[in-house]
């Protein structure tokens, strides 16, 4: 055969296999329908009773500090203290911080959860509870315990709970207390607005606008749980996810998933507001400290100014005739200007000294006052202090997200230490240089004093008082100006970041359950599970299920295929001569005619591996189909162990092959005519004790030779070849051997016996008949069946 023909045969075989596969699955259509209905119903229940989970999101723009001042830098130079450089990762850490979550929960007041208990679902009642619980914060409470409330009437309710090994909780201090070592049960009736008190809790239940008479009439049960602030904060820290919109974006997206959309929206919005508010508080802390310092200096200077004014007033009263008020004292005013400069240096030295003392005795940067707010324009000092504040802010943020041993944290500590030391050295240098400048001014003042000393005593006193007054006045005016500038800068400060989008649902449909997807999955599972079960069953099923299974298990050619019969009568070709099975036997008859063409009379042995495969069914119907075609046919019952052939034709079995072979009957007595023209039958006869010896006798061989003279076809029905050797004996006497394989019944390993005989050429001209072949049905049967077993009863051979 050419390669092209081989390819065609292979494609045909593959097509047949696919078709067989499809037919095998479709034959179990009712399994698929049942499976699909069950899974779709499960999906319906899941979609119906699963609490939907929704996703809400908001966005915050993390802006550069250059956009956060609204032009304040034009009012006062160098206000770096109001804007701390941040980066996206640090801001994410702040938003995910425990302290921020704790503040948000306190602001929202969601430390207590309220629930409605339905038949199937339990629903969280956020801002819709028919009652609220008011706790006594000075008393211990039970956190994490569910209290069940059932209204009795308008004024009373039943409350019950049960807990074991539960810690008491101090709301005021936000910490756990002693653990209960025993089971605590409570079931009592109380009045609304009345405190319930025990050693472990104290609270009262207050009705809300959502309390209706329906709750009383239907005895609807609700419950509440007081959460530990620490646990609830950790839960929200874990639940909130924060990510940039893109790698290059400075916009952070905050996302929260949960059952209560309204609650999650409120949480994200409040979290964002508190985050911005916290940033403003940090930015304004330094400005507030500066204003407090300036106000303290103003008060001190104003007190001095009042004293000097009193002295001037007293001087005028004591010297009414002294004409000094209209004189020009140029030296005095030069001295006054110089002393004004000297006062600035004194303020600077005071600032440097206080800052130096603060740095040497404190670890943080909370109370540092900006140099620019004191009128000090020193770029190096401004830069160092700005860096110091930034590093301390970064340190705080890292404390929220890392441990103190983390390399990043240690690196920041090192930078803080280095920057702090640089500031200290810078301050020491500034104090030294400022003191030097101060001494120069003091020398000039002393020169002016020498000139003033030449004045009369009264005039000198007046000039001295006037000078002190004007100096104090200038200091007060200078401090008031700085206070105003700082206050303006503080009021003009806005948050570094802005809320772009308030929280809202990401989608109108819930995140879970996805109803359409669940139905699709249910449908696929409804199809897949039967396929899996059928495939597994087929995998572990060693039966011959198709022609391809048979061709893979044996090299013996297939002569014919007989379909399934659900009739009670085994002689199907006689009862239904126009049936498909009858046509199958006619096709088999045609194929047999091409076997052993040189034989005028053909001996055909029909056998199988085990019982119930249909060898007697095939031999009987094959005999009939040959006889109806005009061939003289003899059906020889050679199954001397479990004879069955005579039952199909209602013939007595007292005289048959066994009685003939032991000379208890003549051949003429054993040959029985049938109602079918051209068909005779020799039954098996009584069961002998030695069937194999009888079949292997010379008389059996002579019988076959004699019968061939009178019949065109001799059909021998034998025992199964897989159980006994009887059939092998008769197969050696036959011209044609037919081996019956029953579809979906015969095991593959049962073919080993006949394969050995075929491969070793012990049996000639053997072919296979596939019996009970089914395309679309899984109910098998011929209307008969038997199993082989061998006992001690042998008819009249007793």
What is the per-residue pLDDT across 774-797, written as a single tens digit (0 to 9) for each? 765 443 333 333 333 333 333 333
443 belongs to a structural domain: no
In the chain, the number of structural domains is 4
Same domain flag for 417 and 284: yes
The upper half-sphere exposure of residue 364, i.e. CA atoms within 13 Å in the direction of its Cβ, equals: 6
Same domain flag for 527 and 496: no
Please report, for the domain that includes residue 713, its CATH number.
3.40.50.300
Tens digits of per-residue pLDDT, 49-91? 888 999 999 999 887 654 444 333 333 333 343 333 346 888 8
468 belongs to a structural domain: no
In the block, residue with structure tokens 């959460």: 227
pLDDT confidence bin for 454, thresholds 50/70/90: low
Tens digits of per-residue pLDDT, 625-640? 999 999 999 999 998 8
Q: What is the pLDDT of residue 417?
A: 87
Q: What is the pLDDT of residue 389?
A: 82
- Model confidence at 563: pLDDT above 90: no
Tens digits of per-residue pLDDT, 285-331? 777 777 888 888 888 888 888 888 887 788 777 776 555 544 444 55
Q: Tell me phi and psi for residue 332, to 5 degrees.
A: -60, -45
Q: What is the pLDDT of residue 279?
A: 79
The radius of gyration computed from the CA coordinates of the chain, to the nearest angstrom, equals 55
In the block, residue with structure tokens 């034989």: 599
Q: What is the mean pLDDT of residues 14-27?
A: 69
Range(s) of the domain holding residue 428: 54-109+243-324+348-434+478-512
- Model confidence at 798: pLDDT above 50: no
Same domain flag for 191 and 267: no
Per mean pLDDT, which range of 8-12, 223-227, 270-274, 500-504 is the poorest? Answer: 8-12
Q: What is the pLDDT of residue 778?
A: 43
421 belongs to a structural domain: yes
Tens digits of per-residue pLDDT, 645-665? 888 888 888 888 999 999 999
Same domain flag for 46 and 59: no
Q: Which helix (H) or strand (E) holds 195?
A: strand 195-197
Among candidate residues 126, 128, 98, 130, the one with its CA nearest the CA of residue 112: 126
Q: Tell me phi and psi for residue 191, to 5 degrees.
A: -95, 145
547 belongs to a structural domain: no
What is the rounded distance in angstroms from the CA atom of residue 575 to the CA atom of residue 648? 12
Q: What is the DSSP track for 431-450? A: HHHHHHHHHHHHHHHHHHHH
In the block, residue with structure tokens 């095998």: 24
Same domain flag for 212 and 361: no
Average pLDDT, rounded, for the chain: 82
Same domain flag for 680 and 761: yes
- Model confidence at 573: pLDDT above 70: yes
Per mean pLDDT, which range of 149-163, 369-383, 503-517 is the poorest? Answer: 369-383
Q: What is the mean pLDDT of residues 724-752?
A: 88
Map residue 544 onto helix, strand or coil. coil
Chain centre to alpha carbon of residue 33: 30
Among candidate residues 145, 126, 156, the one with its CA nearest the CA of residue 54: 126
668 belongs to a structural domain: yes
Same domain flag for 635 and 685: yes
As beta bridge partners, residue 556 has none
If phi over 0 gives left and psi between -120 and 50 gives alpha, with beta otherwise, what is residue 595?
beta
As beta bridge partners, residue 115 has 124, 223
- Give every strand in the sheet of 633-637, ordered side by side: 558-563, 766-773, 736-742, 602-608, 713-717, 633-637, 679-682, 671-673
414 belongs to a structural domain: yes
Chain centre to alpha carbon of residue 224: 28
From the number of C-beta atoms within 10 Å of its C-beta (0-12, 13-18, 19+), residue 653 rates as buried
- Model confidence at 14: pLDDT above 50: no
Helix (H) and strand (E) counts for the chain? Answer: 23, 24
Same domain flag for 72 and 126: no
Q: Tell me phi and psi for residue 716, to 5 degrees.
A: -105, 120
Same domain flag for 291 and 249: yes
Is residue 441 a contact partner of residue 338, using CB atoms and an 8 Å limit?
yes
What is the rounded distance in angstroms from the CA atom of residue 321 to the CA atom of residue 111? 80
787 belongs to a structural domain: no
- Model confidence at 4: pLDDT above 50: no
362 belongs to a structural domain: yes
Same domain flag for 36 and 73: no
pLDDT confidence bin for 336, thresholds 50/70/90: low
Same domain flag for 757 and 650: yes
What is the rounded distance in angstroms from the CA atom of residue 132 to the CA atom of residue 134? 7
Among candidate residues 160, 131, 156, 143, the one with its CA nearest the CA of residue 200: 143
- Model confidence at 178: pLDDT above 80: no
Same domain flag for 592 and 728: yes
């Amino acid at each position: 055969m050419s390669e092209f023909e081989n390819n065609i045969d292979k494609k045909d075989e593959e097509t047949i296999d696919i078709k067989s596969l499809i037919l095998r699955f479709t034959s179990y259509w009712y399994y698929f329908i049942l499976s699909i209905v069950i899974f779709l119903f499960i999906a319906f229940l899941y979609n119906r009773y699963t609490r939907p989970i929704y996703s809400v999101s908001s966005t915050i723009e993390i802006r550069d500090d250059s956009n956060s001042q609204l032009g304040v830098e034009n009012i006062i130079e160098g206000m770096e203290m109001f804007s701390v450089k941040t980066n996206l990762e640090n801001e994410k850490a702040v938003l995910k911080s425990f302290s921020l979550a704790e503040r948000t929960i306190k602001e929202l007041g969601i430390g207590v959860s309220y629930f409605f208990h339905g038949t199937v679902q339990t629903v969280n009642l956020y801002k819709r509870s028919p009652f609220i619980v008011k706790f006594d914060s000075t008393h211990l409470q039970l956190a994490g315990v569910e209290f069940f409330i059932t209204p009795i009437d308008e004024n009373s309710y039943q409350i019950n709970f049960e807990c074991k090994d539960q810690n008491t909780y101090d709301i005021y201090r936000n910490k756990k207390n002693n653990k209960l070592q025993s089971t605590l049960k409570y079931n009592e009736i109380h009045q609304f607005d009345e405190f319930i008190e025990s050693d472990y809790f104290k609270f009262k239940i207050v009705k809300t606008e959502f309390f209706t008479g329906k709750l009383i009439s239907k005895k609807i049960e609700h419950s509440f749980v007081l959460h530990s602030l620490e646990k609830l904060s950790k839960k929200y820290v874990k639940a909130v996810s924060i990510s940039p919109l893109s790698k290059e974006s400075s916009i952070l997206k905050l996302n929260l998933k949960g059952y209560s959309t309204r609650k999650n929206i409120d949480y994200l919005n409040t979290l964002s507001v508190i985050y911005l508010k916290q940033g403003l508080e940090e930015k304004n802390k330094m400005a507030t400290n500066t204003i407090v310092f300036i106000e303290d200096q103003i008060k001190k200077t104003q007190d001095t100014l009042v004293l000097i004014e009193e002295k001037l007033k007293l001087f005028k009263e004591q010297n009414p005739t002294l004409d000094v008020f209209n004189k020009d004292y140029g030296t005095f005013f030069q001295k006054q200007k110089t002393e004004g400069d000297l006062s600035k240096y004194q303020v600077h030295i005071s600032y440097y000294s206080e800052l130096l003392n603060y740095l040497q005795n404190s670890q943080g940067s909370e109370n540092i006052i900006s140099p620019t707010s004191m009128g000090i324009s020193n770029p190096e000092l401004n830069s160092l202090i700005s860096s110091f504040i930034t590093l301390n802010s970064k340190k705080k943020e890292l404390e929220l997200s890392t441990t103190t041993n983390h390399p990043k944290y240690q690196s920041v500590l090192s930078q803080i230490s280095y920057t702090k030391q640089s500031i200290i050295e810078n301050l020491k240098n500034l104090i030294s240089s400022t003191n030097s400048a101060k001494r120069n001014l003091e020398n000039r003042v002393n020169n002016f004093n020498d000139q003033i000393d030449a004045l009369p005593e009264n005039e000198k006193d007046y000039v001295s008082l006037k000078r002190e007054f004007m100096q104090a006045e200038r200091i007060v005016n200078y401090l008031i100006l700085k206070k105003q500038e700082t206050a303006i800068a503080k009021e003009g400060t806005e948050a570094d970041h802005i809320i772009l989008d308030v929280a809202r649902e990401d989608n109108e449909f819930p995140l879970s359950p996805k109803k359409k997807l669940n139905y699709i999955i249910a449908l696929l599972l409804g199809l897949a599970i039967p396929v899996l079960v059928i495939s597994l069953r087929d995998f572990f099923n060693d039966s011959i299920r198709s022609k391809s299974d048979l061709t893979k298990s044996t090299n013996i050619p297939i002569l014919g295929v007989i379909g399934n019969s659900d009739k009670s009568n085994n002689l199907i070709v006689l009862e239904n001569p126009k049936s498909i099975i009858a046509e199958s036997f006619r096709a088999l008859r045609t194929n047999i005619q091409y076997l052993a063409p040189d034989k005028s009379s053909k001996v055909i042995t029909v056998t199988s591996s085990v019982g119930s495969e249909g060898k007697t069914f095939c031999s009987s119907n094959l005999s009939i189909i040959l006889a109806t075609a005009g061939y003289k046919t003899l059906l020889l019952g050679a199954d001397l162990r479990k004879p069955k052939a005579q039952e199909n034709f209602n013939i007595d079995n007292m005289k048959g092959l066994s009685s003939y072979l032991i000379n208890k009957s003549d051949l003429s007595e054993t040959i029985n005519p049938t109602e079918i023209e051209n068909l005779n039958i020799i039954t098996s006869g009584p069961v002998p004790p030695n069937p194999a010896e009888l079949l292997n006798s010379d008389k059996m061989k002579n019988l076959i030779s004699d019968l061939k003279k009178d019949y065109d076809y001799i059909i021998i029905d034998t025992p199964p070849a897989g159980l006994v050797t009887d059939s092998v004996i008769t197969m050696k006497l036959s011209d044609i051997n037919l081996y019956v394989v029953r579809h979906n019944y015969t095991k593959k390993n049962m073919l080993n016996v006949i394969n050995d005989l075929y491969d070793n050429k012990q049996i000639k001209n053997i072919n296979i008949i596939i019996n009970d072949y089914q395309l679309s049905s899984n109910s098998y049967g011929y209307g008969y069946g038997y199993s082989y077993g061998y006992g001690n009863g042998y008819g009249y051979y007793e």
